[in-house]
Amino acid sequence: MMKKKQSPDLNYGIVFILPAILFLSITSLIPLAYSLGVSFTNLNLLRPGQPIQFVGLQNYSTGIRDGEFLTAAWNTILIVSVSLGLQLLIGLMLSLILSQERKGFRLWQTILLIPNIIAPVVVGVLWRLMFNPDYGIFKLGLAQIGIDKPWLQHPIWAKVAVIIVETWTWTPFVMLTLIAGLKSLSDTPFEAARIDGASGLQIFRYITMPLLKPVIAVTLLLRLMDAFKMFDSIYVLTYGGPGLATEVLSLRIYKKGLKYFDITEASAQSWIFLICIFVISYIIAKKFVQVEKRIE
């Protein structure tokens, strides 16, 4: 029996990709392994001479019962849920409009993508200026119609401000992926529905949405994994304030480890956070596979 010869192109591909794999391993896997090991010890950065001892799950137990960590978890769930829902709703509406081949629509797609290509830190600075209580555009503009809110000074309105910023930043990404999904759909079922006299609403409900569900599921999965990591814009916009009103898990872990130097509990909390993201992503991915099977 003759053995298949390995393609030379494959060998060259492995050679070229190997440096990238090594770089990612050094910059990602080693820090992950270090944080996992540290999370089971009593390492104290403020006492370098203290003997390092194995403490088992003590840091995990303390970390998951931390009131500030639980508050940050609730804030994360609330902000991600509301902002992601708005992103999907607005992104779907925009994609249905801008996926049509009409003059000027490509230009609008490009213009609407601008928020998504701005660095998150810059986004935070821009919106902080707009929410400024003295000279911000929200203060000066909305006050004229009787909406004068302490956007970054009140716990509820600070959450609303963060949700607005997240929605503004990431809706273009959702819009772009859904436009790509809409343009990949076959025209045959739509033409058949029009011949049968189906209305635009019926076509959207019974044809467009079922066919678009896999794309929506992938978009939701990508955005969900990324949304849980939000840090930069909130750091600049509110720094988790007022109080703990807008403090999310990534910011809480950052403060725990690099502000208060409790590196062991911060590592434990980061792994708890990572496991939660993995479980949620797995559930959504499983649902996505089920939807694909039903469509097939």
**pLDDT of 13:** 73
Q: How far apart are CA 177 and CA 95, in angstroms?
A: 9
Q: Specify whether the CB–CB gap between 94 and 182 falls below 8 A.
A: no
Q: Specify whether the CB–CB gap between 231 and 75 falls below 8 A.
A: no
Question: 81-90, 118-127, 141-150, 253-262: lowest mean pLDDT where?
Answer: 141-150
Band of the pLDDT at 284, cuts 50, 70, 90?
confident
Whether 9 shows a pLDDT value over 80: the answer reads no
List pLDDT tens digits, range 104-127: 888 888 899 999 999 999 999 999
Residues 66-89 as b or e (16 or more Cβ within 10 Å = b):
beebebbbebbeebbebbbebbbe
Q: Specify whether the CB–CB gap between 170 and 87 falls below 8 A.
A: yes
**pLDDT of 118:** 93
**pLDDT of 127:** 95
Torsion angle, alpha carbons of 112, 116, 122, 128, to 10: 60
Whether 5 shows a pLDDT value over 60: the answer reads no
Q: Do you find a cis peptide bond into 242, omega within 30 degrees of 0?
A: yes
Q: Enter the pTM of the model.
A: 0.88
Tokens encoding 63: 């970390």
Whether 6 shows a pLDDT value over 60: the answer reads no
List pLDDT tens digits, range 16-75: 888 888 888 888 888 899 999 999 999 988 888 888 899 999 999 999 999 999 999 999
Collapsed DSSP state (helix, strand, coil) of residue 113 = coil
**pLDDT of 14:** 80
Q: Specify whether the CB–CB gap between 212 and 181 falls below 8 A.
A: yes
Whether 89 shows a pLDDT value over 90: the answer reads yes
State which of 84-88, 194-198, 223-227, 273-277 shows the largest mean pLDDT.
84-88
What single-letter DSSP state applies at residue 205? Answer: I
* Average pLDDT estimate for 82-93: 96
Residue matched to tokens 């970054």? 152
**pLDDT of 44:** 86
**pLDDT of 1:** 45
List pLDDT tens digits, range 154-210: 999 999 999 999 999 999 999 999 999 999 988 889 889 888 888 888 999 999 998
Domains of the chain: 57-271 (1.10.3720.10)
Amino acid at 65: R
* Average pLDDT estimate for 253-280: 93
The dihedral sign for the CA sequence 270, 271, 274, 276: negative
**pLDDT of 62:** 94
